[in-house]
Structure formats: C-alpha cells, structure tokens
Chain A
Amino acid sequence: MVAFDSNFVGIFSRFEGEICSLKRRRYCCNTDLIQKEHLSKKRFCKHLNGIFYSILVSLFTQVSFAQNDIADRENKFYQIISVPIPDSVKLEVGGLAFTDDDKLGVATRRGEIWVIEDPYQQKNRLPKYSLFASGLHEPLWLAQKNGAFYTTQRSELTKISDTNADGLADNFHTVYSWPISGNYHEYSYGPLILPNGNMLVTLNLSWVGRGESLTKWRGWMLQITEDGKMTPFATGMRSPAAFGLNKVGDIFFAENQGDWIGSGRITHLDQGDFAGHPAGLRWSGEPNSPIALKRSSFPDSAGLMFDYAKGKPNFKLPSIWFPHTVMGISTSAIISVNSDKFGPFEGQLLVGDQGHSKIMRAFLEKVNGQYQGACFPFREGFSSGILRMAWGSDNSLFVGMTSRGWASTGKDLYGLQRLKWDGKIPMEIKEMRITKDGFDLEFTKPVDQKMAASVSNYAMTGFTYSYHKKYGSPVINSRKCTIKKATVSSDGKTVKLDINGLREGYIHELKVDNLKSADGEEILHPKAYYTINSFPEGSVHDHHAMNHDNKVEVSGCGEDSQKSVREQPSDWKKGPDIIITMATKPGLKFDKELIEVRPGAKVKLIFNNNDDMLHNLVITTPGKGAEVGKLAMDMGLDGTNAGYIPATNSVLFHTCLIQPETSQTIYFTAPKAGDYPYLCSFPGHSFVMKGIMRVK
C-alpha cells in the first residue's frame, strides 16, 4: 500500500492532539468516540456548547438531548464507535467492502476507493488510509471478489484490479455496460455477489417529474456473469439503493417512498418478479424479459397494492413495509445477521436509513411459501446519513455514511462508524410470528409474567397505503384491533396474543406498554410493524375483503384551518400588501433563507414545491423552529395524516404537505416585529430546509 503523502501525516498529527476541538466538537459529543468517560464527556461537551455556541445552537442541543435518550439507552448494548477520517479525505461513502486481508475498502461519491488498514483501531488509534483508485463515476457500492473490487459506475459494472500488487488499482475493466440518458436520477448500484459468483446490479429510474425508465433496464435488477453476460432478473423498482441476501441466500431489496411507493419497504425477489413501480415495464416486451406485465395496464390510481396484485403473475408484494417516518424515511442498506456474535438476532436483517441516520431490524418468516414479517427500531444516533453497512471480522458492523444533497438527522456531511455489541442482551421483542389466532411475541429474555398477561398492555392498529402514481401516500384505512388474550409461555419468553380484527394486506402496528423483563428491565423498543400478506392455513381471522373499507383517502393538514388560510380573506379589499414566492431547491432547501415583511402586512405566500419529494412550509413563533421540527418528527404515523403539522401554539402559519411539482398559496397577516423561523416539517427535512421570516 502507498504511504501517506505528507499531507495526511500532518493531519493525523493534528488529530492526535485533539481533545474536542471546536471543529470536531459535535463529532466528539454526539457519538461515543470516548466511551469510558461517557458521562463526563457529555458534561464537558455541554459546557463547551455554552462557551462556543450561540443561543440558536443551544436550542438545538436541548432538542437533541431528548432525542438522544433512546440512543443513550441503546448505547448500553450496541456502541457506536467513530472510525477517524483524515481531514483531507472526503469519505462520502458510496460502498464498503472488506478485502481478503481484512482491510476495509471504501468507495466514495467522488469516485475514489480508499483502503483502510486496521479500521478496528487495534494496532493504532489512527487507521491508515491509502488511495487505491480514483476517477470513477459516482460508485454507490463496493464489492470484493478474488482479490478485485467491483462497483457500478453510472453506466457500467466495473472490475477494478491491482494486477502488479503495488497497492494501486491499474485495471478498470468494464464487465457490462448499459445506456444512460444523462438524467440525474439514473443511479446504479451493485454488484451484490451471489454464492455462484454471478452479480446483481440495480438501476434507479430516471426522474422527469415522475419515475420513468428513459433507457433500457432502468428500474430493473440485472444478473451479470463475470464474463459480461446479462439476464434481466426482476423489475418494479424505483430507487433500489439497497439489496442483500438473508442467511439462507434469498434476495431482498429495499425501496424508498416515491411515486407508486407509499412508504419504504423491503421485498423478497425471485427471478421474474415485479415489485410495484410500473415504469420499468417499458422493457417487458424485450425478448429476454422474464416478465409479461404491461406498463399500459396500470391505472393512475390502483386502490390497494394487495388487491391490485391479486391474480397477476410475477406481482410481488412487499415482505415488510417500513412505515414512513416511524421506521425511517429512506431505507438504504440491507445486511443479514448471520452469527450469534452480534447479539440475539441471528438470521434477521438489519436495514439502514439514510435520512434518519439509524438502523432498523427485520424479522422474516415464510407463510404459505412467501416471506412476511415485522420490523423494529434497533439503533439510532449515527453521525451522518447511512448508505452502506459491512461486517468486520470482529463481528462489529461498519456503517458508511453521506448526507450531501440529502440531509440526515446525523449532521455530519459524511462519516464512517461501527456498531459493536458489548455482549449484554437487551430486552427486546426478538420475533413476532403470525399464528392462527394472532401473534406470538418471542422476547430476548423472560418477561414479567403478570405484566405480560395483561391484554391492556398491548395495542394494535392496522393500516395501509394507497397504490397510485402520486408521490407517497397518507396512512389509510386505519383501524384498531382488539387484543383478546395474552398467554405467557412457561419459560416466560413467548407471549401468545389472540387478536380480533387483523386484516390481510395490512400493516399492523404493535405497541407494548408497561412490560418488563422478569428481572425488571424495560423493553428497549416496545413497538413493531408486522405486514400481513397472508394468514397461516386454518386461521380464524376475518377475511380481508369483508373489512376492506375503501374510504376516500385524505391527507390532512393540521388541525387549525386559521393557520392555513388558502383563500384571500374577504376583508383584504386592496389585496395583499406583499406577495412572496417561495420555492425549493435540490438538496432540501428553500430558495430563500430570509424573507422580510412589515408588522401587520397582509402577506400572500406562494409555496412552490419544485423538488421530487413531499414538502410543506411552516412558520413558527420566534425561536421555535427546531422544536416544531422535533414535534413533527415525533408525530409518527399520525403525522402522515396531519401533513406533519403539530398541534402547538408554536406553529403560526403553514401550508399543507404538498406533492412534488405542485404549489399552494396561503394568506396571513404578519405578526409583530421579530425573527420567525420557517421550515419544512417533514421529518428529517427541518434540519436544513429552513429560513427566517424577519418582521420589521
């Protein structure tokens, strides 16, 4: 490997001497770089906040303390360790792959591949970074096979090798290429290397105000052999950034909310499957297409995906829905837990989330031959947006991150951290299995028998999403289920719930309250979301169709219509005093960060959502921007149907959550002089999508 050039050495020597410099303050404080002195560090950092940061920032830290409560509890079992990065390296992680000699390869969005020696910091506190390759076009994945790296660039699958073993890549071989149009959304991911050496890649749809497949095989997963033979494998994908194998080698991919995709989810894929977004079907007529479905057969609004899929060959339902904003907003990585060295979750999947900087957990079971199951929160509080995960040889999980252009709750622009299990078993719902009568909950530790037997400690609600070409979906057809009976097994590890009101094709939210382990430990994450695609044979549940209330979907918009006046008030005889047009910019931004109005001015505010995501505009009372953002985030499922407008006096005026490429106008009278924050309260956006309305 190449030695550092003089630059790097210098940076590391500075790094050595650092304690919690101003620049790295957040880095030190929000994560657990220094574990042993965790508490005292936190105090120290809090102190530093006071010294170095203005009121605005301390507001943020107040909020983040509440938010970090759960992260602090999680940290007792799974610790986040930051892998130091030299200042000169912009490690905007696109891909992670270990080499045969246990070095970590990292592909970056700027087209580099770095090789990190001893990323475990066993030999040295500062791991050694070597630049192995550069110049690639936005590699968003990294794999390793027989001593060579593989990645996708925008238009090809590339094998990158070091033929003379000098530690520098010297051959960039095109394994297979595909045409691209130059559209920004045409990201390519992979390869996932299968046990037989074949490779899978996925191709994002183009974005032209909606997802389209402008060139051949966009929206598809392709299987490619080492010698460049390609077979179209499956389609129906919109933004398939994440895919992986479970312990037995079945393929799962993760999808992000968007047009036709009501919420994030993971789907099991077999060859020839169609996963829901119709744009890729443009190529289903090609001679080598394994799918016969026609693009033209899809109406703009197709009801429920579960119903629409019935009787259609190749149509694959999501294995597990990850309800938007409560279980992340942008699933981005899937990895299987294949050993018991990472805690009690062997055989389960971990799913990363970019926007929420967290990892979730998925338990899958096969019912009537198809996968379905439940997702659970697992670990939050990572430093940037998670894009990739990889297992280290010490069974710690490396997490590669970037947030450029897509903001994340972890504020760093990029980062590399790892998650390490400390050997203690957290009290968790380990598995949630569907039964003929309801669900069996298996816990990681014996439960308190008395608490666990009380039906009032469980609550379940079923809901689903619309299947339509619009972007995202509100939560629809929501209905409570009745917990009839809770029976605890003799070993105390399993609770059998008998439940009325479960529905096929619905997601079922389970909330557990007031339940502890036998030794008094609270459940770390007392909620789960189980997707029922089918009931086990012999079930006594109601039939789905009978309970299917096709009520009109409504995406709500706050509770107080006076805060969102959408007709010009009749007493504004001369019309508005000022018209403000606010638009969005790519990268989660408003196009203006400061607007000025006079006190008492009649304001007409036109909000244009030019982005490819849902946004709103919420004006708050002075100093309350961060608080409102936090409240909106905490609304969970309810938020979806309230347009993420929290019911609080801190919200003064707001638009609704509006679709991409739409516009909404609100009217209000400017309050007294002051600085009024405005933000997009969609969970995860408010950290960067904000500004100030100055009344003076």
Chain B
Amino acid sequence: MTSFKFPFLYFLTLLSFAFIEKAKSQENISSPSLSSEPLTTDDLSQFHPSKSTKWIIAGNISADRDQKNDLETKNGKGVLVYLPKLKGDKALETKLKHGDIDLNLDFLLSKSASFSILFQGRYEVKITDAWLSNANNAMRAPGLWQNLSVRFRASEFDSRGSKIKDAVLEQILINGQQVQGSTKILISEHSSFRTESETGPLVILGEISPFAIRNISYKIYEKDEIKLTDIKFKVYPGLHKNIDTLLSLKPKRTGITDSISHQVGDRKSQLVFNGFAEIPTDGEYLFKLTAGGGAWLFIDGKLVIENKGSRDFEKAFYAKQKLKKGKFPFRIVYSNSDECLVLHYEGPQIPWHSLTTNASVRLSEKFDPLEYKVRRRPVIQRGFMLKNGIINPYIVSVGIPTDKNSQGLNYAYDMKKFSLTTVWHGKYIDVSNMWTERGEKQLEIPLGARLELPGKPILAKKIPESSVWPDSVQAPEGVYSNRGYKLGHDGFPIFYYALDGVSIEDSFVPNQDRTGLTRLLKIKNPVETSYCLLAEGKVIEKVSEGNFSVDDKQYYIAGLETGATKATVYHGTEGDKLVVSIPAQQENSMIKFDIIW
C-alpha cells in the first residue's frame, strides 16, 4: 500500500482555490462550538501500554530551531514527547476508538522532525518540519507550538458490511490555514490495521527526530440528527418585531412543507413554521442562527435562539440549550426582511447540521481571487482586514519580495495605533474584495497562515507593571501627532509618530536569513521616562541573552539589542510583557530585534 505523504505538492494546486475557503476557515477557529473531549497528556493512561516505548510525558520542553534533533525536556506533565533515542515502540495507539472525528492538537517539532497521525490506525496525515519551504507557508519554526486540526469522516458500510462510502479527510488546517480540501485518502504503509472496521484507534507514529504533542481534543460523532416532522407553515402580511402580534392576525397563506426555508414565505412578510422536532439524544446542543430579519426558534414552548431582529445576514448568533431525547413541538418564526434564514446546530456526538435548506441561505457576493503579486520591491497597500471576525479599517499590509531560496514575508500594521497586528510567510494578499466591482468589503486577505499579535500601541508614559497595557493611543482622540510613513531607498516603509514630545520611527526588514522580520525602533527625545512594549503574551521565556520565546512559544524574539536601555520581562496576572524603559533626556534610543515564527 502506498503512503499518503503530507501533501507538499498539493499545496501548489490547492492554494489557488483555497483563499475564499481560508477566510471561512479562519472564522471557524474562533466560532463558538461545543466543547471537545480532552485526551489527556498528563500521563499515558489514554494509550495502550507498551513494554518499551519512545514516548514519555514531560512538563515544559524546548527545542533549538537551528539544531537538528534538539529537544530538551523538563519533568512535569502535560506534554507528550517522542524521543527516538529511547528504545521501544515508535507508534502510540489510543485506547479511544473512533469513526467520524474532529481532532485538534498542538505539536512542536525539533528541526527536521516528522510524524504521522493514522486515523483508525490506517489513514495517514503526515506532518513534516517544512518551515520556510516554498511549497508550504503554513508551518512555523521548529521549537514553536503549532496547531493541527483535522476533520476525518470514516468509511460507511451497509448492513451487510460492504463499503458504500470511502473515508475522507474533509479538512486539514495547520495553524488555521487550510492545506487540503476534501480528497480521497490512501492507507498508510505503516498501518497494522489491515482490515477496516467502523471504528479504530488513533495512532501517532514517530520517526527519527523528536517532537511533542499536547492539548489533544476531539469530538467523535454518531449518525444521529434532529428530525423535523409534520411541518405546517403560515405566512402573515407585514413584519412584526413582537411575535405575539401574530396571534391577532390572519395569515394570508397556510400550508404544509417538508423543509425549512425562507422561500416558503414572502419577502416583507412574517413566516411561521410549526411541527415536531425529534431530539435524538439527551444533552447540550449549540444552535447557530444567521438571518436577515428577526428570527426565533422555540422547542417545546421554550425560546431556544433568536437574533434580536438583526438584518445582518452575515452575522451569526449562538445559543446553547440542554434538550431531552424525545419528540417535541417546535416553532420557527421569521420576519423576512432580507431573505436569509439559516439555522444550524451541533449536539452531543452530532456534528454541525443545518435545519434549513441550502436555498434558504443568502450568499454574499464572491469574487474570483485576485492576488496582489509582489515583484522586485516591497509593496504597500492600505485597506481593511478581518481579525477574529472584526474589521480593522486602518490596516496597511506590506509584502516583501522573495528571493530564490525563501518565501515571501508579509506583515500588517495598524495605522491608527501604529502597531504590528499580523505577520505571515508566503504570498501577500488577495485584493478581490477591494478591486472587483464596487469593492464593498475592501478586505485584504492574507495568503498565508497568520500569526496574530495583540496589536497594541507600543508607547506608554507609565509602566503598567501588573496591570494591562493600554489598548489605545494615550492621546486626545486616540491618535498620535506628526504621523505617517516614509519610504527608504529600498522601498521599505518607516512608520513615524509622536506622543507628547516622544517621537518614534518603526520599521521592518527581512532578517538576515529571511526567517522573519527585523524590527528597528528609533526613539527620540523623551521628556520623561517612557516605556516601549516589545512583546506581550501568556508566557515569555528567555532562551538566552537577547532571545525569547513569546506567548507560550508562539513566536521568537531574537537578537534583541537595546543599547544603553534595559529590557525587562514583567510577569503580570494578564500574562507577560517584554518592556524597554526609555530614560528621560536620552537623545536617541535604538531597539532592534528579530521576530521569527
């Protein structure tokens, strides 16, 4: 049997159609969801025991991004580590057996490491340290925690046991970036599971280099779903915010229907469905409602979800509800302003399903991808950008050209707060949402796996040691004075601004080996001691002098030079901050460091 190697080649072909998907998948990450089951890595209790194994449990770990096979462990718990130097089994098999599964985990690779995850012991997803590979811009540097999210759907069999549907890896996200769409998969040559059954274990398979895994969580699914039966509808004239009003009104049309769609009713009319909902199992359900106009779902007389009359048909509302197994009356009311009524739910061992038909969705306009290509010089483009579903309308994106041996480097900078908001390797941005037709969304979509940063203004007059660093510019109207950007002769922008007599220049160039960006801050003439925030995150660990890993190993700060001033890591309740204090009367402070991810 052939191994399905992790698809570097696939990247090339898949990326071309993947961008619009990508925006969606980014959104999925932050969207509410029922909680997953953890699979603990505090010990090996969730795995089949083995007489000798290369797998151990550790506390903190660290790996030098430049040194092959380097991975140091500290005693503790929470991290599952593969150490090839130990004698024993390469494979680790879960006691858990699964069919359909959504799997999420963090992984950390030593330089050049690879490993595989075999779903049902057979279907392979292979992860290789391909950091900065031209074909793969999703991977982060060795020694950083990365995220893998896989949606696996198992083969289906009929009652006689014959396969009627092949297993499929519906989605693979690495660091939030989709790397493979729905595709037929092949069975690993390492698989010891020769015959397929409806469930099987997860197998993690190490190779010759160490790596680590933590935060494993999953959802496994049965084939259950909520069934709606005996559906009757009524259409009332007019739109009504208070649905009790309908009691006193005469419907203009009534009938029966087999499905839920706004198309059953009319625009500018109120649509009501009544019927029975068969709830397959006890437990917590999460409902998601997206509608153009007020919408309500009642089950057994209780309001399950509503959208507060919203006409934003791209905005989702969520509500959790405990439901009992059984058959209950339901009612859906829709005040049809904008022809969009979409209801989804997720339940105990039930993946997201829709209660409404596809035709009930109002699609927002999609445009063909339009990549802004970076050629010889750095490029700059201002526009809007989404971060966690919220528009930042003050973004400037900068794309730095590739050279033969490296990927593109890109960053987004907030021109209101003058802060770095996002960095990514690979291609620059898709501008189809800006330059097609009216360009209503004006969105710049990064064409790579994003590393999102807190995006706070970096200059403050007081040091908020234990408190939270301010999120807005400490000036009237929240803007700096004397601000803008200059272009150096090489085309790189140098952002400049001032706050009460302190002036800053802030610029980014590729670092020497093009693994990230070198940030250069020039700070002039402080009238009193000021403070500059270099990094913030859950944990900031000092690796060596001038070298840090930030936010629990999300990225590195390397080669920090602060001249006469001193950088300090402050540990606060809200996380750690790396801060430089700029003494008063100092003529010109220079701070320089690399951001590597």
Interface residues of A (CB under 8 A from B): 109-111, 134-138, 153-156, 158-159, 163, 168-174, 177, 180-182, 184, 209, 228, 404-406, 581, 583, 585-587, 606, 608, 610, 661-663, 665
B484 lies within 8 A of A137 (CB): no
Q: When A and B form their complex, what is the total count of cross-chain residue pairs whose Cβ atoms lie within 8 Å?
A: 96
Q: List 25 A-B contacts (CB under 8 A).
A: A109-B435, A110-B434, A111-B381, A111-B382, A135-B382, A136-B382, A138-B434, A153-B382, A155-B415, A155-B416, A156-B415, A168-B487, A170-B487, A172-B484, A172-B487, A173-B484, A182-B384, A404-B435, A586-B365, A587-B437, A587-B438, A608-B267, A608-B339, A661-B337, A662-B268
Per a CB cutoff under 8 Å, which of A171, A173, A405, A606 touches B438? A405
**A182–B437 contact, CB under 8 A?**
no
A666–B169 Cα distance when bound, in Å, is: 47
**A135 touching B379 in the complex, CB below 8 Å, given contacts A169-B487, A177-B479:** yes
Q: Assign chain B's interface to a size class.
A: 35 or more
Q: Answer yes or no: B456 CB below 8 A from chain A CBs.
A: no
Is B59 an interface residue when CB atoms closer than 8 A count as contact? no
Q: Tell me if B338 counts as interface (CB < 8 A to partner A).
A: yes
Q: Given A137-B382, A170-B487, A177-B479 in contact, is the A184-B440 Cβ separation under 8 Å?
A: yes
What 0/1 pattern do residues 261 to 279 of B give for CB contact below 8 A with A? 0010011100000000000
Bound-complex Cα distance A133 to B28 (A): 37
A138 pairs with B442, CB closer than 8 A: yes
Given contacts A111-B381, A136-B382, A177-B416, contact A154 B440 (CB under 8 A): no
Most chain A beta-carbon contacts within 10 A, residue among B268, B396, B434, B439: B439
> Which residues does chain B contribute within 8 Å of A585, judged by CB atoms?
365
Determine if B441 is an interface residue (Cβ-Cβ < 8 Å): yes
Chain B positions within 8 Å of A111 at CB level: 381-382
Q: Contact at B487–A181, with CB atoms within 8 Å?
A: no
Also in contact, A172 and B485, with CB within 8 A (given A135-B396, A155-B393): yes
B437 touches A154 (CB 8 A): no
> Contacts A138-B442, A155-B393 hold; do A663 and B267 have CB atoms under 8 A apart?
yes
B394: A residues at CB distance < 8 A:
155, 180
Say yes or no: A174 contacts B439, CB within 8 Å. no
**Residues of chain B lying within 8 A (CB to CB) of residue A177:** 416, 479
Assess whether B393 is in contact with A184, with CB atoms less than 8 Å apart: no
Chain B residue nearest to A663 (CB atoms) is B267
Cα(A404)–Cα(B434), bound, Å: 11
Q: Which residues of A contact B263 (CB under 8 A)?
A: 581
CA distance A228 to B482 in the complex (A): 9
Of the candidates A168, A173, A184, the one whose C-beta lies within 8 Å of that of B441 is A184
- The residue in chain B whose Cβ has the minimal distance to the Cβ of A404 is B437
Distance in angstroms from B585 CB to nearest chain A CB is: 27
Given A154-B382, A184-B439, A583-B339, 18 more A-B residue pairs with CB atoms under 8 Å apart are A111-B382, A134-B380, A155-B394, A171-B484, A172-B486, A173-B483, A174-B415, A177-B416, A182-B391, A184-B440, A184-B442, A209-B311, A404-B437, A405-B437, A405-B439, A662-B268, A663-B266, A663-B268
Q: Which residue of A lies closest to B391 (CB)?
A: A182
Interface pair A586/B440, CB less than 8 Å apart: yes
Chain B residues within 8 Å of A170, by CB: 486-487
In whole angstroms, what is the CA distance A661 to B292 when docked? 12
Docked CA distance A172–B413 (Å): 15
Contacts of A138 in B (CB 8 A): 434, 439, 442
Residues of B within 8 A of A405 (CB): 437-439
Residue in chain A with minimal CB distance to B397: A135
Interface centre among B311, B337, B379, B383 (most CB of A within 10 A): B383
Residues of A within 8 A of B415 (CB): 155-156, 174
- Contacts A177-B416, A586-B365, A608-B267 given; does A110 touch B435 at CB 8 Å: yes
CB nearest to A169 among chain B residues: B487
Q: How far is the CA of A581 from the CA of B340 in the complex (A)?
A: 13
Q: Are B393 and A171 in contact (CB under 8 A)?
A: no
Indicate the member of B311, B382, B437 with the most A CB atoms within 10 Å: B382
Q: Give the CA-CA distance A416 to B254 in the complex, in Å.
A: 58
* Chain B residues in 8 Å Cβ range of A109: 435, 439
Chain B: CB-nearest residue to A176: B479
A136 to B339, alpha carbons, bound, how many Å? 36
